Structure formats: structure tokens, C-alpha cells
Amino acid sequence: MQTDDARVRRRAAMPLIGRAPELAELLRLIAGDEAADDAGGRVVLLRGEAGIGKSHLLAHAVATLTADGWIGFDVRADELDRLVPYAALRHAVAAHAAALGGDLAQLASALVAALDVATAQPLPSLHVAAARFFAALADQRPVVLAFDELALIDDDTLALIASLLRQRERHPLVLAGNLRRPEGARHGALERALERLGRDDQVRELELGPLADDAVAELVATLLGGAPAAGVVATVQRRSAGNPFFAEQCALDLAEARAWSADDGTRPPAFSEDRRRAFLDRVLRVGPRSRRIGQAVALLGVVGFARIELAADLAGLAPAEADAAFDALVERGILQPVAGGGYRLCHQLVRDALYQEIGPAERWRWHHVAADRLLELPSSPAVDLEVAAHLGEVAEMGDGRAIAVLSRAAERACATAPQSSIPWFERALAITPPDDPRHAPLAARLARALFLAGRPREAVEVGRSALATLPEGPARARLVTLVVDGLVLAAEMDEAADLVDAELAAGGASVRFLAKAAHVLMGVNRPADALASAAAAERALPQAPVQERILALGHLMRMRYLQPRYDLLPRIWRELEEAAADAPLPSRLAAYQAISYAQAAIGDTRRASLSIGHAQQLLAELGWAVYREDLAIAQMQNAAHLGDWTAALALIESLTDELETAGTLTQLGVLRALEIELRANRGEWAHARRAAEKPLSGNPHCDPLHVWAHAGIELLTGDVDAARARLEQHLEAPSIPGWARALLLSRLADVVTEAGRPQLAVDLLAGPMRQGFDVLDYPTHIAIRLAHGRAAGDPAALHEALALADEHGLALLRGRAHLLLGAQDVEAEQHLTAAAQIFQSLGAAPWRRRTVVELRRRGLKIPRQRTRPHALLTETELQIARLVQQGRRNREIAATVFLSVKTVEANLSRIYAKTGCAGRLELARAIDAGWLDGDGDGDERDGAPAPPAAAAPTP
């Protein structure tokens, strides 16, 4: 029989026993099936009970992949790491940085710096740094991030990795991680992330079961260095129930004749807390001094040489005794080095058991001692987080020191990782007495963190409680504005207006609140009050700090949109651009998010594309969630206007569940209306009707969009009576906004014309036809002229609509203008052919069928459904081509689409080869000429014959 030390060394290099099929399956799941186009980003979950061998199997899989040319990152975290945003990922990247050369080394260093949120001045470019680094790696070799104990990863790391995985066409990145079954404490952020990725078919799972008896026998023989007695093997098989960790400890114990007899047939449970503690003696096999040091390390988490003295004090050992005990644990592999320096216990089960072995009273004292000793060190963000972790375990109600430390940790985390800051704020608030003057300000800061993390409904609940006791002053003004923002997102407009009235009556409102009040009051149809509040805000703007000025201008822009006074919007967004030039990053993002939203909403697509690109880059650098939904809605609206309906629907799908969970009903209402409209225009009737069945939000500025879109389904399917009834009923509501009334009238005019009453349509549009761009956005202005031109037989109105649709790239409206001009026999062949080509490029099947009917009536040639030149390009190449058209340089393009400059250059080379363009200028000119909307040569594939001419509805 081998010596004990020899057995430990052999165990550290144990081969993978009895897991060959599981290893092959795990490798297949990680590598994917390229033939099935499954080689992109994905999550592979390795599930099983504690000790079943998940970490061992994952390590072997990563080693195999690395030998095959993959780049593998070993990401390990413990409970302490989870408290520090990005800590485990930072250690893993830092461990690879030294081995990388050239540009990759620089990108790795930039990412390590960005991930270090414990610095005094954390860098804000986290998401961009991560995207560039992993994109550059993936250009060379596939990448796997191996997360040991995935449930211990912090929320912000999960959000970052999920964001990268959703860009799987750009980054062939794979996350492989372990999850215990049962998982124990549930991890809400992890569950939500896996659910979202699962809906995109990006999650694969492998369940790891017990080892077979012959594998247990082989494991025992390998561990003990020889053929053991049959009774020993039988007992290990019976006692371990196929769990490798239990089998190893049971075998060593039996070999030393210190455990059960071979004929004991009792079968233990697979795993429990008692079982974990019972195995501790067999895991450690060290003296009492080393065991005490192990308990101290379990409490401290990661112990570097500078912390050995603290561990010795906790364990009650002299320095020399502590050094010897520490070295013994390292030599036996119980303490293992971690990237970046220091040691941690070899297995989470060992740490759990050692920590539980410390009695409650002693544990309380040790945490306090650790906090006291760490507070003696020079203050730094890293030390503060460590102190907060200890005090968070033992702090009692009213502990002023703990409240201060936990609050400071929360504030620092919130600067770059608001999701991770929420538990710190909650813990600080839990030990702050309700009558303590710090309670309300802490609740206000928690509300802000929830809002920044994209959880507005929770932010409102916490904010309301804080308002009850928060005294007048800047902090209260900011909180009131935040609560009102949350209520607006939750479609609680009347409640938001009540809060606005109460605060305005109290006096002393800030410029930001005055502007927000104007927005809310206009939203509840109180224009006089709204304009008075807006005037007060505008008078105070010149003296306001730049951050407050930007937020106030954003609220005023939304108010002018609801008013509607679209002629005032350009002046406001120019003021926002000027203010953002020298503003901090969060304020610049707030400015361009507001600009993007307004430009996309009114159909100013070219400006919106530029502003969205700028805002996306800022959002990626900052990594906050608070503006992401607004920006995504702007991007979706712009994509819908430009005819990129697939991208728009993908954005809708990705946002819907998040908005439902967060309770942001206002944004959800906009999404659903656009989904109904897009699905209807594509002829996807079942999808469109399912979306239309969703209840109205109750928001007077969202519900008209829903009604307009629902009537669009009925119009396209020929149910004009239902469409007319729906529209007329909603138009009778006295609170309907002016902009919405014009939009609904344009659709009602189409409906009554379809029903054979064109003069009624002309009468309905008499008022809207006199309105200009001061109160009508571009799509509504065009829709009114199309409806009037069709009903009145007015080609001039149709030509005006076509020119405006061309100017702003409004794809569907361009096609409809061509169709209506051709249907009125104005250069019929030219216009109908153009309409057919546009509708084909959009996938607008109902509209193309109508166009084909008009062509056949006139005996004109039906244009073949041709392969578009840009269909040869990937989605990324199309995006890069559009950015080239906008005059972006390669470095700017790389920052916008989260690629390296080298990758952008490679994509441009492929674009030139596919399109035949000689360079950037020729490519930009081709796109300006409508190449992205045009078709190439090919064969007609109508699928089904067009309906008889007599049965076709008149467009």
C-alpha cells in the first residue's frame, strides 16, 4: 500500500475514470455541429449532485479542446468572488494575458483593467473591451469559458457573457459551466439568463449521473495504487452510491482502517449537510492546527501571504505554527493557488464544511476580528469590499460602522455594476433602523440601483417608501423624478401625475423635475399645465449643471413629441448634442438615447441611424441597463422604417420578456403594436392575431398604436367592417392625443375606401391634409397623403408622398406609393414594377400579391422574384456596409459593431468581392442609389397563383 502523501499526489493527477461517453458528449455539445450551423455562441450546462465529478469532467474537456486548438478560460469563483463584480472573470483573463502577444495582449490588458471595478476610478469601457477581446480571440481560434460552479458567478458577469453570446454570429463563444443538482439557493439572474438564451436555442445540458460499479472499482484501485480487497471495493460501491468524491474519501478511510466495516450494508443518502461534515475528517487527514487554519481560510475566502497572520490570529496559533499548518495544507493539495495570487480551499464542499464547523459564536467573533484587522489597512475599494463581506455576515441592527462600510461598497459597485450593488444596498438597509436619518437616503440609493439595473417597478416600490421620510433637498428631487420615471414606464400615468402635482405644490422643484412634470402632464392630456412647467424648466436650463440640463432636455423632447410640436425637436436635439460634447459618459448616453428615440419615432431615419450608432457605442462602454430598452426601441422603429423587418422582429422578441418581467408596460405597448403591424404586412396572420389579442396597456399614447395595428390586420385580410368599428370606437375617446388621431384617421380612410366610399375618406382627411410637419411625423404625413391620393384619385399627393418616403428611406411607404401611382395608371409599368421589387425585398407578401394583380390586369410583365445582391452578405456585412455609407472609419465601425479593426477590414474585403465595388466610395454610392433595397437577377417563385383580377382588393 502506498504512503498517504503518495496517495494524495496520485489523487491530484487522477485520470478520468468511467466518464468516456460523458466526455465525448460534452465535447460534442461544446464544439457544436458545424454542418447544422450550430457552431456559434451557446451555453453548455453540466448538471449533477455535489461531488459527482462535474469539475473533473469539465477540466478534462477543456484540456482536450485546448489540445485541439481551442482557447480555454478556467473561471473559478467562490462566495467572496460573487460579491465582487467580474472578479472571477478578471482572474481568468489575467491568467491568459501573459501568454498572449501583440494586439491580443493589449486587448487583454484593457479588459483586465476594465473588469477591475475595485479600482479607485473604474474604467467605463467594459462591454466594448470584452467584445473586442473575445472577438479578436475568436478570429484566431474558438473560445470556451469554463465556469466551475456557475451559480457562484456574479450577476453582472452573467449579463456581460449573455450579451456576448447573443452576438454569436460575431463571436463563436461557448460558455460551459457546472450546476449542482439540487442547486440549493436559487440564483434569479442565472435562471433569467438561461431562460432567455434557451428561447434562442443556445442552451445545451448534460446530466452527470453516478459512476457504474466497475468504474468505482477502477477508481479505488487507481487511488490506492493496487488491487484492494473485494470487501473494500464492495463497501465503497455501496457507501458512495456511485459518487466519485464520496468514493475517494471512503476508500482512503477504509484503507486506513478508520471507518466502516466492509460488511455494513447501510446505504447513505446521496448528499446532505450532515454527510458533508462527516466526510471532513476523511478529506483533510491533517492535524488540529492545520484544520484550524483551514477553518480560517474558509471564512476569509482567498488568503495570500499577507493574510496568513490574520488567519493565524483567528485560529489562535503562533506565527511559526500557522506557517507550518498552512504549508501542510498546500502540500497536500487542500489549499490550491489561484490566479492573481493567494490560496483557496480545493473544493467548495470542503470550504462549506469547514465554515459550518466553526461554531456560531466563534464565527461571529472571527468575522468581527477580520473586519477590525482589515480596517486597520489603508482604505481602498478592494479592502472595503473585503470588510463589507465580513460585516455583511454578522452586522446587527444599528451597527453604524457596518452601515457605512456596506453603503460604501454598494456605491462603488453601482458605479459600474448596478445589479451587483443591489444586495449590498439591501444588506445595509436591513441593519439601518427605520428612524435612523440614514434609512431614507439609503432606500433612495437602492431605488436608483434598481432603476439602473432595469427593474423600474421594484425601484418605484422602494422609492415610494423612501419619499415618506426623505427631507426636502436635491436627493428628494432626484428620487421623485426617478419614481415618476418608473411610474411612466409602468403605464401608471395618473399616479405619476398625482405625484407630480404634489411635488409642484410643495415648491422648490429642480429643472429636471420641472421638465419631467411637463412630460407627464402632457401625457395625461393637461397641455396648459404641461406648457407652464416646460416654460419654467426652460428658464432654469442655462444655470443647470450639464448632467441636469441633458436629462431635462430629454424630458422636454418627449413632451414636445406628445404635444405634438415636431418642428421644435431639431432645436432640442442640437442643444442635447452640444451639451453632451463635454459631459460625463452616462450623461452623453442619456443625450443620445433621447435623440435616437425622437428621431426614430418621427421617421428621420438617416439621423436616427447615426444617433443610434453613437448611443450603442456609449451604452456598450457604460454597461448600464437603464437606457438599453429605450435605445432598442429606437433601433427597432428605425429598422422597421428602413425595411429591415427581420432585425426589428428579433429586437421585439429579445425585449418582450424582459419588459414583461420588469413591468415596463409603456415600452411593451410600443413593441406589441409594431410587432402586429410588421407581422400583418408580412402576411403572418396567426402571429399577428396572437399579438393583437394582448390587452391594451391603458396608456393613452400606446393604445392608439395597438388599435391602428390591429385594424391593419383586418384591412389586409378584408374584414373592413371590423376595422372600421374598431377605429371609430377609439376615435370617439376624448383623451386621444392629436398625433394619434391623425394616424388613426389615415387608416380609417383606407378602410372606408376599401369599402367603396372614397368620398367619405376624403372628408375624413380634410383636417389632417392641412396639417404640416410641425404636428405630423414623416410616416403619418406620408400615410395621410397616400390615403387621400388613393381616395381622391390625386397623383400629386401620391408623388409628394413618394418623394418624402424616398428622402427618408421609409421602405413600405415607398412601395405603397409606387403601387398606388401604378394603380392610377401613372406610368403604370414603372411604378408597379418598382412596387413589386420593394415588396419582395421586404417580404411583404400581401402587398406584393396586390401589385401582381395590378400588373396582370394591364397585361404587364411580372418582375421575377430575384435574388438580391445584398442577400449574399451576412447580417454583420450588411451592418458594416451601412456604416461605410454613413462615412464611418474602420475604427469607428469596430467600436459600433463590437469587432476588432482587423475583423472589420476582413469583412470589407469580402463585401467588395461579393458586390464588385472597388472601394468605400463606390460602395457608399451604390447604397445611396438604393442597392440595399434593390433586387438582382433570378427566377420568379410566387409559390401560389394570384387571385383572379375581379376578386383582388383595390389598393
Separation CA 600–CA 922 (nearest Å): 27
| Pick from 738, 747, 740: nearest CA to 714 | 747
User: Residue 725: is its pLDDT beyond 70?
Assistant: yes
The set of cell numbers assigned to 492 is 401608471
The set of cell numbers assigned to 5 is 502523501
Fold of the 869-933 domain = Arc Repressor Mutant, subunit A (1.10.10)
The pLDDT of residue 225 is: 73
Task: Report in angstroms the alpha-carbon separations of 845 from 46, 680, 691, 938, 949.
Answer: 44, 9, 19, 18, 17
Contact 129, 114 (CB under 8 A): yes
Assign domain 439-613 to its CATH superfamily: Tetratricopeptide repeat domain (1.25.40.10)
User: Residue 187: is its pLDDT beyond 80?
Assistant: no
766-791 core/surface letters (b: 16 or more CB in 10 A; e: else): eebbebeeebbbbbbbbbbbbbbbbb
The pLDDT of residue 439 is: 94
Q: What is the mean pLDDT of residues 758-779?
A: 95
The pLDDT of residue 896 is: 65
For the stretch 607-643, pLDDT in tens is 999 998 888 778 767 655 567 778 888 988 999 999 9
User: Residue 13: is its pLDDT beyond 80?
Assistant: no
Contact 522, 530 (CB under 8 A): yes
The pLDDT of residue 625 is: 56
Q: What is the mean pLDDT of residues 901-921?
A: 79
Of the listed ranges 89-98, 357-366, 839-848, 859-868, the one predicted with least confidence: 859-868
Give the H/E segment covering residue 308.
helix 308-315
The burial class, CB within 10 Å (0-12 / 13-18 / 19+), for 101 is: exposed
Residue 5 pLDDT grade (very low, low, confident, very high; cuts 50, 70, 90): very low
| Pick from 840, 843, 798, 842: nearest CA to 823 | 798
Contact 720, 755 (CB under 8 A): yes
Which carries the bigger pLDDT value, residue 622 or residue 111?
Answer: 111
The pLDDT of residue 160 is: 80
User: Residue 125: is its pLDDT beyond 70?
Assistant: no
The pLDDT of residue 254 is: 65
The pLDDT of residue 228 is: 74
Residue 773 pLDDT grade (very low, low, confident, very high; cuts 50, 70, 90): very high
**Residue length, the chain?**
955
Q: Quick one: angle between helices 645-662 and 188-199, nearest 10?
A: 150
- CA–CA–CA angle 701, 702, 704 (5° rounding): 85
User: Residue 574: is its pLDDT beyond 70?
Assistant: yes
Residue 939 pLDDT grade (very low, low, confident, very high; cuts 50, 70, 90): very low
**Most confident of the ranges 90-104, 231-245, 728-742, 797-811:** 797-811
The total of other beta-carbon atoms located within 10 Å of residue 542's CB is 8
Amino acid identity at 361: A
The pLDDT of residue 463 is: 94
Amino acid identity at 133: F
For the stretch 520-547, pLDDT in tens is 999 888 999 999 999 999 999 999 999 9
Which carries the bigger pLDDT value, residue 724 or residue 886?
Answer: 724
Query: Torsion angle of alpha carbons 160, 164, 166, 168, nearest 10°?
Result: -170
- The pairs formed by 252-259 with CB atoms below 8 angstroms and a separation of 24 or more are 252/7, 252/223, 252/224, 252/282, 252/285, 253/281, 253/282, 255/1, 255/224, 255/228, 256/4
The pLDDT of residue 811 is: 94
The set of cell numbers assigned to 606 is 438617416
| Pick from 735, 768, 701, 698: nearest CA to 562 | 701
Q: What is the mean pLDDT of residues 801-816?
A: 95
Q: What is the mean pLDDT of residues 239-261?
A: 66
Separation CA 527–CA 533 (nearest Å): 10
The set of cell numbers assigned to 637 is 422603429
Separation CA 672–CA 667 (nearest Å): 9
Chain region(s) in the chain for CATH 1.25.40.10: 439-613
Q: In what order do the strands lie in the sheet with 42-48?
A: 71-76, 143-148, 173-180, 42-48, 203-207
Q: What is the mean pLDDT of residues 154-174?
A: 71
Q: What is the mean pLDDT of residues 870-884?
A: 72
For the stretch 645-666, pLDDT in tens is 887 887 787 777 777 766 777 8
Contact 516, 535 (CB under 8 A): no
Q: What is the mean pLDDT of residues 69-96?
A: 81
The set of cell numbers assigned to 469 is 421620510
Residue 950 pLDDT grade (very low, low, confident, very high; cuts 50, 70, 90): very low
User: Residue 452: is its pLDDT beyond 90?
Assistant: no
Separation CA 818–CA 801 (nearest Å): 10
User: Residue 92: is its pLDDT beyond 70?
Assistant: yes
For the stretch 131-150, pLDDT in tens is 778 878 877 788 889 988 88
Separation CA 371–CA 233 (nearest Å): 47
Q: What is the mean pLDDT of residues 435-461?
A: 91
Residue 297 pLDDT grade (very low, low, confident, very high; cuts 50, 70, 90): very high
User: Residue 108: is its pLDDT beyond 70?
Assistant: yes
Residue 2 pLDDT grade (very low, low, confident, very high; cuts 50, 70, 90): very low
- Helix/strand number for the chain, H first, E second: 50, 7
Domain 19-207 CATH (choose: 3.40.50.300, 3.30.420.250, 3.10.129.10, 3.30.200.20):
3.40.50.300
The pLDDT of residue 265 is: 34
User: Residue 201: is its pLDDT beyond 80?
Assistant: no
Which carries the bigger pLDDT value, residue 225 or residue 335?
Answer: 335
Residue 123 pLDDT grade (very low, low, confident, very high; cuts 50, 70, 90): very low
For the stretch 390-429, pLDDT in tens is 998 888 899 998 999 999 888 888 877 788 889 889 999 9
Cα 510 versus chain centre, distance: 32
Q: What is the mean pLDDT of residues 378-384?
A: 78
The set of cell numbers assigned to 143 is 473560445
Chain region(s) in the chain for CATH 1.10.10.10: 869-933
Give the H/E segment covering residue 336.
strand 335-337
Residue 872 pLDDT grade (very low, low, confident, very high; cuts 50, 70, 90): low
The pLDDT of residue 679 is: 93
The pLDDT of residue 202 is: 78
Which carries the bigger pLDDT value, residue 385 or residue 407?
Answer: 407
pLDDT > 90: percent of the chain = 36
Whether the pTM exceeds 0.85: the reply is: no
Separation CA 12–CA 10 (nearest Å): 5
Separation CA 96–CA 137 (nearest Å): 11
| Pick from 336, 356, 421, 419: nearest CA to 384 | 421
The pLDDT of residue 279 is: 58
Residue 259 pLDDT grade (very low, low, confident, very high; cuts 50, 70, 90): very low
The pLDDT of residue 599 is: 95
The pLDDT of residue 87 is: 82
The pLDDT of residue 935 is: 40
DSSP output for 877-932? HHHHHHHHHTT--HHHHHHHHT--HHHHHHHHHHHHHHH---SHHHHHHHHHTTGG
Which carries the bigger pLDDT value, residue 451 or residue 625?
Answer: 451
The pLDDT of residue 9 is: 39
Chain region(s) in the chain for CATH 3.40.50.300: 19-207
